[in-house]
C-alpha cells in the first residue's frame, strides 16, 4: 500500500510506505521492552554474582532507540523539516549502537550459558 503525499519541500511528491513506518515503530517498541526486561533480569543476576552494574547499558540502549524512534517519527510527520540533515543511515546507526551495547552487556551477565549448552 503506497500513498503519495507531500512531507516537506525536500520530499515533495515522495512515496510514503505507511506499513513500513508502522513496522519500524512497533519493532522499536518491542526492542525497548526487551531491553528493559533484560536490564531487570541482569540487575538481579548481577546482584547475586556481585558483578559491576553493566545492566545500565541496556537502559542506555533503550534510551537510544527511543531517541531514534522519536527523531524518525517527528521528521516523517513534520510539515517543515525539523532535522533535514539526519538521514535514515544515522538513525539506523543509533539503533545499531544500541544493539551493540546490548550484546556487550549480555555477554557480561549471560556468558556462562554458552558453557552450559556445550555440556549437553
pLDDT in tens, 89-118: 888 899 999 999 999 999 998 888 888 888
pLDDT tens digits, residue range 24-41?
888 999 999 999 999 999
Q: What is the DSSP letter of 11?
A: S
Residue 90: what pLDDT? 85
Q: Look at residue 9 and tell me whether its pLDDT is greater than 60.
A: no
CB 46 within 8 A of CB 54: yes
pLDDT band at 6 (very low <50, low <70, confident <90, very high): very low
Question: What's the whole-model pTM score?
Answer: 0.73
Give the number of other CB atoms < 10 A from CB of residue 46: 17
Residue 110: what pLDDT? 86
Residue 97 CA to residue 114 CA, distance in Å, equals 24
Segment 16-27 shows an average pLDDT of: 69
pLDDT tens digits, residue range 40-84?
999 999 999 898 999 999 999 999 999 988 888 877 776 666 555
Torsion of the alpha carbons at 50, 56, 58 and 63, rounded to the nearest 10: 170
Residue 80: what pLDDT? 62
Cα-flanking dihedrals φ and ψ of residue 86, to 5°? -90, 115
Q: Look at residue 17 and tell me whether its pLDDT is greater than 80.
A: no
Amino acid at each position: 500500500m503506497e500513498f503519495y503525499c507531500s512531507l516537506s519541500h525536500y520530499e515533495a511528491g515522495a512515496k510514503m510506505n505507511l506499513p513500513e513506518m508502522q513496522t519500524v515503530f512497533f519493532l522499536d517498541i518491542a526492542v525497548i521492552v526487551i531491553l528493559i526486561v533484560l536490564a531487570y533480569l541482569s540487575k538481579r543476576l548481577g546482584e547475586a554474582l556481585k558483578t559491576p552494574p553493566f545492566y545500565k547499558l541496556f537502559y542506555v540502549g533503550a534510551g537510544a532507540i527511543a531517541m531514534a524512534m522519536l527523531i524518525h517519527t517527528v521528521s516523517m510527520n513534520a510539515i517543515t523539516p525539523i532535522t533535514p540533515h539526519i538521514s535514515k543511515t544515522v538513525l539506523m546507526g543509533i539503533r545499531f549502537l544500541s544493539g551493540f551495547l546490548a550484546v556487550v552487556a549480555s555477554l557480561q551477565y549471560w556468558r556462562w550459558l554458552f558453557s552450559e549448552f556445550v555440556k549437553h
